[in-house]
Amino acid sequence: MSTPLLEVKELSKYFETPYGLLHAVDHVNFKIDRGKTLGVVGESGCGKTTLGRTILHLLDSTRGKIFFEGEDITHVNRKRLKELRAQMQIIFQDPYSSLNPRMTISETIGEPLRLVKNLKGEELSREVRRLMDVVGLAQRFINTYPHELDGGRRQRIGIARALALNPKFIVCDEPVSALDVSIQAQVINLLLDLQDEWGLTYIFITHDLSVVRYLSDEICVMYLGQVVEKCDADELFRNPLHSYTQALLSAIPSPDIFDKTERVLLQGELASPVNPKPGCRFYPRCRNGCEDCLKPLELVEVSPGHHVACHRYSF
């Protein structure tokens, strides 16, 4: 069996607060094979972005292990981290705030090439123009500033910057959520084309289930820092097992006016992610909750490749 490009084991990230430890990411486990996409979905505040940034060492992990191409990169020195940064990149959610307003497109895309590959002059300019062609940015924009462009073109700059060092792995942190629907489709298709041509591996973070189904090979559903369900993308939509996943899928609008799918409305209070109690964190809002939900639980495989964290399936 080939080594997965990325693997995390029991990865956790906690933040200190005046009231205790906030469990932003808690005991997360998954693997991603080369050239595949793992979708990570969940409502705002569930820890999706923190997970991606912790894997890239933009945030230090609290505990757990991160493996890249079989190498334990959980704790590496500054020199090795700089080498890894060339292979692991991120596309940020906001295509405006993630760009320096004082730098032109040429300067933004060329910065990693200049700092890491030491490219200069005509060689640097030629590589910048090549990357602009790759992401579909017209050459006439090469000396423009971010505020002169629309959101779609700004996001293409971010994608070109992420591709500049020829990475193997990219965290896509809700890269289309701030864009118009028609522009979203263009950016999504661009990411898929780049994956086919460059052999890229993605973690695609989003709250849009329709987008994640289109892009992902496998999907993790997160709730308050924990993965509550993980399986193949088609399997998740065909047979959602966790009550939270069922509620998320029921919220997807249907174009069929005769669709009789039951809308699952969540009620109850959110559990606190600060010093959380053992057991299911979705229990206060779960329509299938019972006393067993207060007991500790783990993500278990209930059918080949389909994992769920729910006491109804822990037998």
The CATH number given to whatever domain includes residue 102 is: 3.40.50.300
Q: Give the model's pLDDT for residue 266.
A: 79
Tell me how far apart the alpha carbons of residues 151 and 193 are, in angstroms, rounded to a whole number. 20
How large is the average pLDDT for residues 236-248? 91
Is 313 inside a domain boundary?
Answer: no
In which band, very low, low, confident or very high, does the pLDDT at 210 lie, cut at 50, 70 and 90?
confident
Is 139 inside a domain boundary?
Answer: yes
Name beta bridge partners: 90. Answer: 171
Q: Give the model's pLDDT for residue 314.
A: 66
pLDDT digit string, tens, across residues 22-32: 999 999 999 99
In which band, very low, low, confident or very high, does the pLDDT at 180 lie, cut at 50, 70 and 90?
confident
Domain enclosing residue 72, as ranges: 6-254+261-308
Q: Give the model's pLDDT for residue 22.
A: 94
Q: In this structure, what token pair is assigned to residue 98?
A: 């993630």
DSSP of 262-303: PP----SPPPPSBSPPSS-TTGGG-TT--GGGGS----EEEE
Q: Give the model's pLDDT for residue 96.
A: 84
Closest among 111, 108, 113, 136 to 123, alpha carbons compared: 113
Answer whether residue 252 shows pLDDT above 80. Answer: no
Burial status of residue 130 (CB atoms within 10 A of its CB: 0-12, 13-18, 19 or more): exposed
Tell me how far apart the alpha carbons of residues 164 and 194 are, in angstroms, rounded to a whole number. 13
In which band, very low, low, confident or very high, does the pLDDT at 255 lie, cut at 50, 70 and 90?
confident
Tell me how far apart the alpha carbons of residues 111 and 92 are, in angstroms, rounded to a whole number. 17
Is 1 inside a domain boundary?
Answer: no
pLDDT digit string, tens, across residues 112-167: 999 998 999 999 999 999 999 999 899 999 999 999 998 889 999 999 999 999 99
Is 35 inside a domain boundary?
Answer: yes
Query: Beta 201-206 vs 169-173: how paired, if at all?
Result: parallel
Is 314 inside a domain boundary?
Answer: no
Closest among 253, 203, 164 to 49, alpha carbons compared: 203
Phi, psi of 213 (to 5 degrees): -65, -40
Is 315 inside a domain boundary?
Answer: no
Q: Give the model's pLDDT for residue 315.
A: 54
Answer whether residue 271 shows pLDDT above 90. Answer: no
Which residue in this structure is represented by tokens 């940015």? 137
Q: Is residue 203 helix, strand or coil? A: strand
pLDDT digit string, tens, across residues 56-111: 999 999 999 999 999 999 999 999 998 998 999 999 988 888 899 999 999 999 99
Least confident of 3-12, 251-260, 306-315: 251-260
Q: Give the model's pLDDT for residue 1.
A: 61
Q: Give the model's pLDDT for residue 259.
A: 67
Q: Decide: pTM greater than 0.85.
A: yes
Helix boundaries (H) for the chain: 48-55, 78-87, 105-116, 121-135, 151-163, 181-198, 209-215, 233-238, 243-250
How large is the average pLDDT for residues 245-274? 79
Tell me how far apart the alpha carbons of residues 118 and 41 are, in angstroms, rounded to a whole number. 38
Q: In this structure, what token pair is assigned to residue 46?
A: 């569930």
Q: Is residue 109 helix, strand or coil? A: helix
In which band, very low, low, confident or very high, does the pLDDT at 260 lie, cut at 50, 70 and 90?
low
Tell me how far apart the alpha carbons of residues 17 and 129 are, in angstroms, rounded to a whole number. 46
What rounded mean pLDDT belongs to the chain? 90
Q: How many domains in the chain?
A: 1
